[in-house]
Amino acid sequence: MSGLRVLMPGPLSLLQDAGRHGWQHLGVSPAGPLDLHAAAWANRLLDNPWGTPLLEIALGHLELESELDSWLALTGAQVAATLDGAPLPPWSRFPLRAGQRLRLGFARSGQRAYLAVAGGFVAPPLLGSVSTQLREGLGGLQGTGEPLRAGDLLACQPASLARGASVPWPYQPDYRAPADLRVISGGDAPRFAPEQLQAFFTQGWQLSPQSDRMGARLLGEALHAPTRQWSQGVGRGAIQLPPDGQPIILQADHQTMGGYPILGWLHPLDQARLAQCPPHHELRFRPVEIGEAQAEVREFYRFFGR
């Protein structure tokens, strides 16, 4: 099978799909794209089903050469994208011909771009998913959890579409704005002192440079957490408070058990905004009712055909 040849892989480019679900009881995290919003739009632009394998490209600096005629869609972080030197519009789909080269510059706004191909990239699934999980060595092109390397072939099928299309501008986020993130209260929140919960919501936070796909670490005035005597299962979006008082928001590659107290969960749709924040970006949090969050998530999944 032919496809797209990797000439320059970028700092961290990972093959992802909807995630490796159903294995957390065995300690396997789900992985999947950090920015569900941008990934979902990339596939929708190409009429791909939900969760079709695509690339998550951290910080850009990627170059590919096509061996076939197809269509691509690019969403997410603002990167200077060119096809044989001609600039490409953001959040759009475009035709690709055999022999053409796609180049992405470094991200100017946001942290992760998403590149989808009509029909999806082809790789052998492992535990039902091709999603790349670096820590556990699962998924990706070879099934061993490695990022893209120069010389890799992103296998895909030829495809043809009638015309170009773009995401309407109201659905294209401004990643430069301060991040206003919503939190569903729960977990150990009733055991926190009221002034500690208030401090979490009233103070400004920054995203730590030590953040990764496993957890987003916050920097701010330290909080005091109640004592926890046991571990429990944890999921994406859980806001843990370790002994140093600096919260950690679990992301796609999160561990499956944790013993730190949990003061709530980040709204599932706001996880996408968090994924695009650079180090030291300003973050603020506000509470949201679980019913409101559930309604918004249902609408999101209905729109994207999950």
Tens digits of residue pLDDT in 181-202: 999 998 889 999 999 999 999 9
**What band does 259 get if pLDDT is binned at 50, 70 and 90?**
confident
For residue 189, which of 179, 197, 181 has the smallest C-alpha distance? Answer: 197
For residue 15, which of 133, 181, 99 has the smallest C-alpha distance? Answer: 133
Tens digits of residue pLDDT in 18-37: 999 999 998 899 999 999 99
Q: Per mean pLDDT, which range of 186-195, 246-255, 274-283 is the poorest? A: 186-195
Phi (first) and psi of residue 296, to 5 degrees: -70, -40
Cα gap 255→227, rounded to integer Å:
20
pLDDT of residue 230: 78
User: What is the average pLDDT score of the chain?
Assistant: 95
Once rounded to an integer, what is the mean pLDDT over residues 266-270? 97
Decide the pairing of beta strands 205-207 and 215-219: antiparallel
> Percentage of the chain surpassing pLDDT 90?
90
pLDDT of residue 178: 85
pLDDT of residue 52: 98
Cα gap 74→92, rounded to integer Å:
6
pLDDT of residue 225: 84
What is the SS3 string spanning 221-276?
CCCCCCCCCCCEECCCCEEECCCCCCCEEECCCCCCEECCCEEEEECCCHHHHHHC
pLDDT of residue 157: 94
Cα gap 157→140, rounded to integer Å:
18
Q: Is the pLDDT of residue 251 over 70?
A: yes
Q: Is the pLDDT of residue 228 over 80?
A: no
Contact 14, 54 (CB under 8 A): no
Decide the pairing of beta strands 3-8 and 60-66: antiparallel
Q: Residue 27: what residue type?
A: G
**What band does 229 get if pLDDT is binned at 50, 70 and 90?**
low
Cα gap 126→134, rounded to integer Å:
14
Start-to-end CA distance of the chain, whole Å, equals 28
Tens digits of residue pLDDT in 43-101: 999 999 999 999 999 999 999 999 999 999 999 999 999 999 999 999 999 999 999 99
pTM: 0.96
Q: Residue 173: what residue type?
A: P
Cα gap 255→28, rounded to integer Å:
8
Q: Is the pLDDT of residue 234 over 70?
A: yes
Q: Where are the domains of the chain?
A: 3-171, 179-303
Q: What is the dihedral of CA 123, 103, 45, 169, to 10 degrees?
A: 140
Q: Is the pLDDT of residue 162 over 70?
A: yes
Tens digits of residue pLDDT in 86-119: 999 999 999 999 999 999 999 999 999 999 999 9
The CATH class, in words, for 179-303 is mainly beta
Our CA angle for 12, 48, 92, nearest 5°, is 65
Q: Is 246 exposed, middle or buried (0-12, 13-18, 19+ CB in 10 A)?
A: middle
